[in-house]
Amino acid sequence: MQKKQNKTSLVWFKNDLRVNDNKSLLNAIASSNNVIAIYVFDPKQFSTNKYGFKKTDKYRAQFLIETVQELKANLETLNISLFIYNKNTAQAINSLYKTHNFNAVFYQSEWTQEEANSILEAKSVLPQNIDFIETYDQFLFHPEDIPYQFQDIPRVFTEFRKKCEKESRIRTITKLEVVLPKTNLVNNTTKTPTLNYLGLEEITPSTKTAFPFKGGENEALKRLENYFFETKKLGFYKKTRNGLIGTDYSSKFSCWLANGSISAKTIYWKIKEFEKIHFKNESTYWLIFELIWRDYFKYISLKHNNKLFKIGGILQKNYDWKINQLEINKWINGQTKEPFVNANMLELKHTGFMSNRGRQNVASYFAKNLELDWRIGASYFESLLIDYDVHSNYGNWMYVSGVGNDPRNRTFNVKLQADRYDSNGKYQKLWLQETLF
């Protein structure tokens, strides 16, 4: 893109909270001589939903606060000011327009209902001559490069994976090579809100957490360096990924991926670098395999839209779902008949994190054993999980509930799973003993 004179652009950050490999930021800098940025802590995202849960509760909110603080600092090294608001998104963007009169808005494309509505509201309050330039920037395989139209995405993951691996390519990382002049930095006194300001409780840190990390792009890159090159844990990922205790049984990248502190492409190309320097094995491939799963749920979401949030899921299947508040509360508070479910639910309640193995078991138990409306469980995960991602969360819940992409419609045998993955009971003892911290 050629530089356009006397043009001011706004970069609207949402779930792409990074400086590296950020197409919207790159395009804004390339096409404008003045760039400002915005992030909005919209009160709607911290309100109580119809199931009685905060849409974003304290753990994910704290991680988000840390991420936005780091983004603000990193943007300032490029001489770009990040304006942070805690108000309605459209109002925030409109008030920034009144003071800075930008000509274009660059942002990452979002398509699920709430996110799409937010974009439409923003467009409605700004003059029609403002350009809105969106970019698909959250994928491993870019939508233009996959061998499918959205409506033709297959129902089974394996088919999608094999065809994409064979016929698609992973794009290279976009690199920023320009730092704007210091005169681009404008007066900006906005700050990130506190948990208290967002109406949330303070966090009591747990010494038992498997995710003691902080939010932010620098933290994500530090974790990548440690997991790949300092400890070479990547080389054992497939063997350890079903673990339950500690920081290194899995990569833990999901939290940073969820809010876009790091891109899937960045992880992919670092895996390739690791393979070139050290070795290539099943484990190095398996992390790529998991990134493709993440892509797949995004494409399922693009194909099926709001069916993700319907009780019948993408299969539109009818089951006899129940709403039993007593059973829901027992599940939430780790008071069911299954100790393995209870241990996992207590870990989530006290840390905002849970292993993938744990998630599959507690979700299957909720939907298949208790026969409770799976959307309530998904909503609770949305509230608590640090690494909540709308596509993966609802995609996985549909999958285990028999209304999604599992062709076998399995029910997890929780007792057998506990015997297999916690044979010595160490994990259950860790979370079921009296002293939680």
Other residues' Cβ atoms within 10 Å of the Cβ of residue 82:
22
Distance CA 264, CA 260 (A): 9
Distance CA 98, CA 275 (A): 51
pLDDT at 140: 98
Q: Which element (helix H / strand E) includes 281?
A: none
Q: Is residue 427 one of the residues assigned to a domain?
A: yes
Residue 92 CB partners (closer than 8 Å, separation 6+)? 38, 40, 42, 83, 85
pLDDT at 434: 54
Task: Using the 3D structure, point to which of 79, 109, 137 is the last residue of a domain.
Answer: 137
156's tokens: 């089974």
Q: Are residues 291 and 314 in the same domain?
A: no
79's tokens: 């001489």
Residue 235, domain CATH? 1.25.40.80
pLDDT at 318: 86
Other residues' Cβ atoms within 10 Å of the Cβ of residue 89:
24
DSSP assignment string, 383-397: HH-TT--HHHHHHHH
Q: Are residues 295 and 321 in the same domain?
A: no
Q: Is residue 403 one of the residues assigned to a domain?
A: yes
Q: Are residues 235 and 342 in the same domain?
A: no
Q: Is residue 238 one of the residues assigned to a domain?
A: yes
Q: Are residues 241 and 327 in the same domain?
A: no
Q: Are residues 291 and 361 in the same domain?
A: no
Q: Are residues 299 and 373 in the same domain?
A: no
- Structural domain boundaries, residue 14: 8-137
pLDDT at 5: 52
Residue carrying the six token digits 């909503």: 379
C-alpha closest to that of 298 among 147, 160, 182? 160
Whether 174 and 24 have beta carbons less than 8 Å apart is answered as no
Q: Are residues 14 and 46 in the same domain?
A: yes
Structural domain count of the chain: 3
Q: Are residues 301 and 318 in the same domain?
A: no
CA 49 to each of CA 18, 108, 126, 334, 376: distance values in angstroms, whole numbers, following the listed order: 29, 25, 29, 22, 10
Residue 36, domain CATH? 3.40.50.620
Q: Please report how many Cα atoms fall inside a 13 Å half-sphere around the Cα of residue 217, on the Cβ side.
A: 22
Q: Is residue 428 one of the residues assigned to a domain?
A: yes
Q: Is residue 401 one of the residues assigned to a domain?
A: yes
Q: Are residues 301 and 397 in the same domain?
A: no
Q: Is residue 344 one of the residues assigned to a domain?
A: yes
Q: Are residues 117 and 12 in the same domain?
A: yes
Residue 314, domain CATH? 1.10.579.10
Question: Looking at the chain, how many residues does it have?
Answer: 437
Task: Using the 3D structure, point to which of 305, 334, 350 is the last residue of a domain.
Answer: 305
Distance CA 227, CA 284 (A): 12
pLDDT at 235: 97
Task: Using the 3D structure, point to which of 260, 284, 305 is the last residue of a domain.
Answer: 305
Distance CA 404, CA 306 (A): 13
Q: Is residue 277 one of the residues assigned to a domain?
A: yes
pLDDT at 437: 44
Q: Is residue 209 one of the residues assigned to a domain?
A: no
Q: Are residues 258 and 362 in the same domain?
A: no
pLDDT at 178: 84
Give pLDDT tens digits along the chain (437 positions): 444 556 999 999 999 999 999 999 999 999 998 999 999 999 999 999 999 999 999 999 999 999 999 999 999 999 999 999 999 999 999 999 999 999 999 999 999 989 999 999 999 999 999 999 999 999 999 999 999 999 999 999 999 999 999 999 999 999 888 889 998 999 999 999 999 999 999 999 999 999 999 999 999 999 999 999 999 999 999 999 999 999 999 999 999 999 999 999 999 999 999 999 999 999 999 999 999 999 999 999 999 999 999 999 999 988 999 999 999 999 999 999 999 999 999 999 999 999 999 999 999 999 999 999 999 999 999 999 999 999 999 999 999 999 998 867 789 999 999 999 999 999 999 999 854 44
pLDDT at 435: 44
Distance CA 221, CA 71 (A): 13
Whether 50 and 323 have beta carbons less than 8 Å apart is answered as no
Residue 259 CB partners (closer than 8 Å, separation 6+)? 15, 17, 63, 64, 67, 215
Q: Are residues 345 and 240 in the same domain?
A: no
Distance CA 50, CA 69 (A): 31
pLDDT at 4: 52
Q: Please report how many Cα atoms fall inside a 13 Å half-sphere around the Cα of residue 392, on the Cβ side.
A: 22
379 phi and psi, to 5 degrees?
-70, -35
pLDDT at 409: 79
